[in-house]
Amino acid sequence: AGRALLPRARVILKEAGDIKAGIKEDVSSGAGHLSVGLIPTIAPYILPGALKRFYESFPRAQIGVEENLTERLVKKIIGLEIEMAVMSLPIDDRMIKTESLFEDPLVLALSPGHELAKSDDVSIEDLKSIPFIALDEEHCLGEQINNFCYERQINPEIVCRTWNLSTIQHCVSFGSGVSLVPNMLVMTDVSRRCVYRPIEGQSPKRTVVAAWHRDRELSKLAREFIRIVKEEYEYMASNENRDV
């Protein structure tokens, strides 16, 4: 009996979500409403360009954006408060369905005067003996970096732990230490306060995905937003202005 009711339950769930999230769109006319979330280590870099593209394509559309941590965005997806979110793996919740958008490498951020800045690339072993600026593990990126180092038996000398990638850039530029940062930050950094070097060998990277409730069918506007986010990252990668 339970299985017989499952298809109808899924229909009810989708209808309730459409009403709650306000996702009623007419893509052909550029009208509609979309609610999306992004994690803080992605939003500042991909969102400005993606929003510009979105509004150029759908000038009559309305989009609500929430920047928050992965765990909180997952809860909002399950609670039907947002339709989808852009975040990075892993996402450990069976109610969430994901679609891979792109791989975002992590690179080493250094002050211009740092000894390692003279090399084209550096080894993960170099992180053993130098001060390290760490992103708090409340961020999935901070946890990913910590796991990357742990798996390679690297225990960096952490001299500062922060919630903000911008703070990391400032600390690195002052010579307080080095850090691993996402490539999308590098591609948008025109200040040249830091220099960036890839890690030789098996370079760390994160998989950026679109995530939504497994029992919901994405709206057309959501699908278009996913396409635009992919295009924006590709555009950033082809026009990057950095010292790597």
Cα 124 to Cα 203: distance, rounded to the nearest angstrom = 9
The pLDDT assigned to 122 comes to 86
The pLDDT assigned to 4 comes to 55
3-state secondary structure of 19: helix
Q: Which residues of the chain have pLDDT under 50?
A: 19, 21-23, 25, 241-244
At position 238, the amino acid (one-letter code) is S
The pLDDT assigned to 138 comes to 82
209, 154, 109, 74 alpha-carbon torsion, rounded to 10°: 20
Cα 98 to Cα 100: distance, rounded to the nearest angstrom = 7
The pLDDT assigned to 128 comes to 83
The pLDDT assigned to 244 comes to 45
What domains lie within the chain, and their CATH numbers?
A: 2-102+207-238 (3.40.190.10), 104-205 (3.40.190.10)
Length of the chain, please?
Answer: 244
Cα 240 to Cα 45: distance, rounded to the nearest angstrom = 12
Residues in contact with 33: Cβ distance below 8 Å, sequence separation at least 6, in sequence order: 21, 22, 23, 24, 25, 61, 62, 63, 64, 221
Residues in contact with 131: Cβ distance below 8 Å, sequence separation at least 6, in sequence order: 157, 158, 159, 176, 177, 178
The pLDDT assigned to 80 comes to 95
The pLDDT assigned to 171 comes to 93
